[in-house]
Every structure is written in structure tokens, then in C-alpha cells.
Structure 1
């Protein structure tokens, strides 16, 4: 059963046009509120958005709750149409620092290519809303523009850049990110976690991170170009107590060579103390355009990521809705085992009204003994209806029925389908 996209039609005020002339090494920063969208056009010169070059005279559209920065090395003219909530030109940016980091990483990649060894494994750490995800995107884009194919790893379960929130994942980046839609996400490697923060089940989070690292480290050697291009890892913004434990665990699991610490001096000191001395730890300034988001804004961002999974962003997707019998599926929740220290186990979840709006992971297994929570998942569905009388679940799915397997994993992540 096909459905139309539920993308909202936000209007661009064609009467409100502004022209900005940017000098070399300056940046146009803008933020769009929840009710509008804008278009931007590069009319002269050269410019980029987080490392992706803009095409001259092409119009780019940005929807609600978007924050972007257009940077130019040589100067440019930008036409902005619409009414952004905030727009200004910044003359001071950390881009020179960032390009120097990229140059150092590129030198490591060239050396790895010459020696047929593994390229740099880089992990970005720091508090929430300091620009870690943006810097990841920029470094990946710069690497791809030089012909490299790095692996992007996302360990930020709260936002989810590769799949929905509540997951960790990886993908090989072969081309620069689309200015409006981000990186192409064909055939990503995704592992289910099921919570919005590492602290909800740190044991399971660390277990999944280790499985992802083992999988990547085993597969990366099958392709020389990918191997020498290295890995860039984004992390959660929780950097204290158990959050710090999650960071150090990931550093050891992925055998990182470089840790970029964004805007957190104390974290630099702690990492110097706790990770091997051969790991380079570099303090990185945050961009002046970063804005601290409220809990409600972060929740809306999570909802939009789930909506994008099912419906697409600019290119509409048409998910399916169908009924599934209670008797045809088994749903489990991952919890810590009391019998063994630092181990996890599956516990059955009773099918009922409490499942409404919850996202469920579709596994590649029908057998609990195969430990499906430790393998990558086939995808996700969302429960949109529960019929107790007929014992049917109505689900939203990116693929038509039937489900590929009957064993599903519960997630705390919820999504209300408003179509």
C-alpha cells in the first residue's frame, strides 16, 4: 500500500530578497525557523557549505529548523530569498584551522596508501551543540574531493545521521554530501541500540560499538582505497562520567590514531591521561555559528530524522502501511543479564497498546539463540495502530509486506505519523 509523502509545503517569500557580498575567508550564516524555508543562489565567485562546493546559479532550498553556513575562500556573491530567522556575515571563522587538520590527515592517508596500510582513524568528541557533526561532514567532504573514500561512523544515538536515532552505523563516503540532503546513504551498516542516550544501557551501547568496530576493521582491509582513506567517527555530546567511559571505550574499540576535541579543555586533559601516548589529541575551536539547542528542538530533530527515514527529505519516498498478526511476530527488548557481568540478553515484550508509535528493528534472524541484537539490522518499522480484538498491529514500513523476518527488537524511540 503506497502513501504520498507528508512533506509540508513551506512557502518562500519571493518578495524578500537579500544580496550578500562576501570577502575572502568569510562566512554567511543563517537559521530558518519552524514555519519557513529559504533559497540561496551563488551568483559569482566560489563558495561551499560544510565542504561541498556550491554550483553557480543553482538555487538551493533549505527547510525549517535548519542552520547552515556558506563559506568562501576567494570571495563571492550570494542571493538569499525568503525570511530566515537569523542571517549575518561572519568575518572570523575557524576554517583555516580546519583546513590545516584536513591537510594533516591527508598526509597520513598518502603515507598509508604508499605503505598499503590503514589510514587515519579520527574520532571527534566534545559537548552537545559544538559542531562535531558539521566538522565530520567537512572533513569527509574534503577527503572525497581529493579522490579518497573514507568510512563515516556515527555513534551519536541521540540524533542519528546515518539511520534513525537509537542506532549506530557506518557508511563508505564516495562523493561529497548533497548540500540539501547530506551524504548518500545507500547500503549503510546499521546496528540497533534502541535508546536516545548511551547512559540508558551503557553495557549494551559499548557492546554494539565494539561489534561495529570489529565489523568495520575486518571489512576495511578488503578494499585498498577504503583502507588507506581511513575512518572519521562522530560521537555523542555526553562527555562526563559514563559518557566519558563510552568515549574511551570507542577510542580503544576503533583503535583511533587521532582525537579531535571540540571546545572542551578538560576533556583534552583527561584523554591525554587515559588513552595510549601514540594517539594524537588535538584541541579544536568550535565555529561561532554553533547554537545550543533546547530539549524540544532536539526532540523535533529526532522526529524529523525518523520522518525522513520513511518519507525522504527532498526526494519523496512512499512507505507502506499493512497489518501484522500478533502470532506472526516476536518482539524482544535488550536488557543487561544478571547472570553474567557486562553481558546483554533478549527479554520478550508483550504485544499490546504500549507499542503504539514505537519504532521496531527488523532483524535478519528468526532465532533468539543467534543473538540478533549483535548483528546489523534489515531496517525499521513503526507501530501506527494496535487492534487487540483482532490481534493485529498496523505498521509503517519502507518496504511492502511481508516482513523479511519475524523477530523484532523494541526501541524507546517513538514517531507519530501525522499523515
Structure 2
């Protein structure tokens, strides 16, 4: 994904902060591109790395603030929609061909810009999804995100999804982009 971003943005300088292994890998991969310089920077002396638990707590607090406000002064709205009203997509990844199916010497690779349509399933419960302004699936990658919703319930009998949104009313678009952000309201 990083290499794709470097190529897409036509970067001439790539700064790597405090990641010796990443710097080395990028330098080796990009050495054939003379117009791209990979520069290693040292972390400042006062920088403290946060462990996974601290980052997870901080992320959960930011999500809560998004829906409820910093001072708990916002009132998000719970909405219910039919499965058919939503089109959910994942960007990137997808199944890769096994090495045995590839030409000799070729490596399997995932396309970081590949769109994959998803059906509503139990795995969506408690996920935070981005709401895209896209009018067609082909526009998802180039369209802005209107905001985020949080899936609070999925009823397979009635084929309804309940979600929490920062504001009342219908979603500004029907295309939702799945990430890996899970949140459980305390």
C-alpha cells in the first residue's frame, strides 16, 4: 500500500521516521527509481512509543468523542435501514492466487485499490464504516467520505441493520466502506 501511494503521488522524497527496517526495505525496493530519495530520520529524544493497549484506548476514546462529543454534549441518532438500502465495500486485499497458479518466479500480490462488494453478515456488528459520497461503486476510491456510522445491531429475520450516526436523517450516500475499526460502547 505504501509503495502504491509513493507511485500514485509521484513522490520524490520519502521520509521514514524511526523505522530502520522499513527504511532499508524502501531503499532497496526504490533504488531502481533515481527520482525517489528515501531519507531516514531519527525520533526526537522526547518521543515515547505507546504500546498497543494505550493506542487502542486512545482510539476508542476518539471514536466515542466523534459520536458523543468531547464533553459528552452531542446526541447521536440510532437509525434502522433494510439490508437492500446499503452497499458495503472493502478496499484492498482480496483473495490471492496460490504460488502454484502463478508463472515461475512470480509473487502473489494484493491490489491495494481493489474494491470488493460484501453482503451484510454478523462480522459487521460493532464495526465503524465510512459513508461515501460516491454515486456509483466505481467512484468510491475517488470520492470523499461524508462521515462514519457504527453498526449496533443486525437482525437477519427482518433484514434490518441498526446503526448509530452523528446526525439524524438519511445517510448522504448508500455506499459504505469497511475498514478494520471495531468499537464497543462502554
Question: Structure 1-normalised TM-score?
Answer: 0.35
Structure 2 residue runs of 5 or longer lacking an equivalent are 98-108
Q: 1:355 to 1:269 in 2, by over 3 A?
A: closer
Q: CA deviation at 1:395?
A: 0.6
1:382 aligns with 2:141: no
Count how many residue pairs are aligned between Structure 1 and Structure 2.
171
1:410 aligns with 2:178: yes
Residue aligning to 2:85: 328
CA contact (8 A) 2:92 2:111 kept: no
Runs of 4+ in 1 over 6 A off after TM superposition: 337-341
CA contact (8 A) 2:81 2:162 kept: yes
Match of 1:362 among 113, 126, 131: 131
Q: Comparing 338-347 with 404-413, which one deviates more in the overlay? A: 338-347
Alignment of 1:240-255 (within 5 A): 249=6, 253=9, 255=11
Alignment of 1:154-303 (within 5 A): 202=1, 207=4, 209=5, 249=6, 253=9, 255-256=11-12, 259=15, 261-263=16-18, 267=23, 271=27, 274=31, 276=34, 281=39, 283-288=41-46, 290-303=47-60
SS class of match (2:90):
strand
- Over the aligned positions, Cα root-mean-square deviation in angstroms equals 3.6
Q: 1:353 to 1:281 in 2, by over 3 A?
A: closer
Equivalent-residue separation in structure 2 for 1:401 and 1:279 (angstroms) = 48
Q: CA deviation at 1:315?
A: 7.2
Equivalent-residue separation in structure 1 for 2:155 and 2:142 (angstroms) = 31
Structure 1 residue runs of 5 or longer lacking an equivalent are 1-201, 210-248
Q: CA deviation at 1:278?
A: 8.3
Larger RCO (CA under 8 A, 6+ residues apart): 2
Question: Structure 2-normalised TM-score?
Answer: 0.71
Equivalent-residue separation in structure 2 for 1:351 and 1:390 (angstroms) = 13
Residues 94-116 of structure 1: per-residue CA shift (max 9 Å, x gap): xxxxxxxxxxxxxxxxxxxxxxx
Q: Comparing 334-343 with 312-321, which one deviates more in the overlay? A: 334-343
